[in-house]
Amino acid sequence: MKVAIIGVGNMGGAVCEGLFNKGMDNQFQITAADASQEKLELLKTKYPKLDITTNNQQAAKGADLVIVAVKPWLVQPVVAELQMSQSQIYVSIAAGVDFAQLESYTGLNAQPMYRVIPNTAISDQQSMTLICKSHTTSEQDALITQLFGSLGRVLFIPESKMAAGTALASCGIAYVFKYIQASIQAGIELGLTAQEAREITLQTFIGATTILNEHGQHPAIEIEKVCTPGGITIKGINQLEHDGFTSAVIRAMKASM
C-alpha cells in the first residue's frame, strides 16, 4: 500500500518518523512531500527507504492513503491541488478543519475521510491519537487503526468531540511538559541538581500514569492514599488548590478549544 504524507513539519515529520521507527515501511511504501527540500533531505538521511518530493501532487498521485499534515490555513490550497480521486483515503491532520470544509476542498462527495489528531509523542510510538471518520468502511477503519495504533493509542470519537479531545491530547501534552518543567525547577530550588530533579520528576510521572493505567482508579483515590493526616503531601495539595491549580488546568483546556 502506498502512503503519501503531505507536509513534514512538527506533526507530519513525527508521523513519518514514527512509521519508520516502528518498521511500518515494511508494510507501506511511504512518500513524503514538503516545500522544504532541507526537511526532506534530513528525513531521507535518517530513513533511506523514504521517497521524497517537493511536488505534493506527484506524492499523492497513485497513493492509496493521503495524509495531509499542513497548517489549517494551508489545507484548502494544498488539498485543491492534489486532485484526489474517489478511491483514495484522505486523512487530515489539521485541528479545526471539519469534514464539510474538507469535502468542499476536494470537490468529491462521499469520499472516505478521516480527521486524525495525534500528539507529538507519535514519533516515539506513544501518541494519544483521536480519530473521527466519514464515509469509510470497516476495512478502512481497521487499516487506519493498524497504522496509527502502531504509533500509540487510538480512540475513535464523533466529530462533535474532536475539539475537546484535541485540547486534552494534542494541546494537553504541552501542559504535561509544563508541569514537568515546573517540578524540575522546584527541585533545583530545593537543592537538587538539574539532572537529579529531572530523573526524579520523570520517573514519578511514569509511576503515576502506570498506576492509573494498570488499576483503573480515579486519580482522587490515589491522591488520598498519599495524603496522610497532618502529612506534608496534603499541605502541598491544599497549596495547589489555594493557588488555583485545578482551575488553571481546566481554563487552559477550555482556552485551547
Per-residue pLDDT tens over the stretch 51-80: 999 999 999 998 999 999 999 999 999 998
Q: Give the CATH number for residue 151.
A: 3.40.50.720
What's this model's pTM, rounded to 2 decimal places? 0.89
Domain boundary among 98, 128, 158: 158
| Same structural domain, 128 and 178 | no
Q: What range defines the domain where residue 242 resides?
A: 172-255
| Same structural domain, 107 and 213 | no
pLDDT of residue 152: 93
**Is 144 inside any structural domain?**
yes
| Same structural domain, 120 and 207 | no
pLDDT of residue 127: 94
pLDDT of residue 18: 85
pLDDT of residue 19: 87
**Is 167 inside any structural domain?**
no
| Same structural domain, 27 and 111 | yes
| Same structural domain, 27 and 122 | yes
Q: How far apart are CA 38 and CA 94, in angstroms?
A: 23
Q: Are 8 and 43 in contact (CB under 8 A)?
A: yes
pLDDT of residue 110: 85
Q: How far apart are CA 161 and CA 158, in angstroms?
A: 6
| Same structural domain, 64 and 8 | yes
pLDDT of residue 27: 83
Segments of the chain with pLDDT less than 70: none
| Same structural domain, 30 and 104 | yes
Question: At which residue does the C-alpha cell 526537511 appear?
Answer: 39
pLDDT of residue 99: 94
| Long-range pairs, 224-228, Cβ under 8 A, ≥24 | none
| Same structural domain, 44 and 132 | yes
pLDDT of residue 122: 87
Phi, psi of 22 (to 5 degrees): -90, -5
Q: Give the CATH number for residue 192.
A: 1.10.3730.10
pLDDT of residue 95: 87
pLDDT of residue 24: 80
For residue 122 the three cell numbers come to 507519535
| Same structural domain, 77 and 186 | no
List CB contacts of 40: < 8 A, sequence separation 6 or more. 8, 32, 33, 34, 52, 53, 54
Number of domains in the chain: 2
| Same structural domain, 26 and 136 | yes
List CB contacts of 119: < 8 A, sequence separation 6 or more. 127, 128, 129, 169, 170, 172, 173
**Is 163 inside any structural domain?**
no
Q: How far apart are CA 229 and CA 248, in angstroms?
A: 26
What is the Cβ-side half-sphere exposure of residue 9, based on CA atoms within 13 angstroms? 11
Of 1, 95, 77, the closest CA to residue 35 belongs to: 77
pLDDT of residue 116: 96
**Is 166 inside any structural domain?**
no
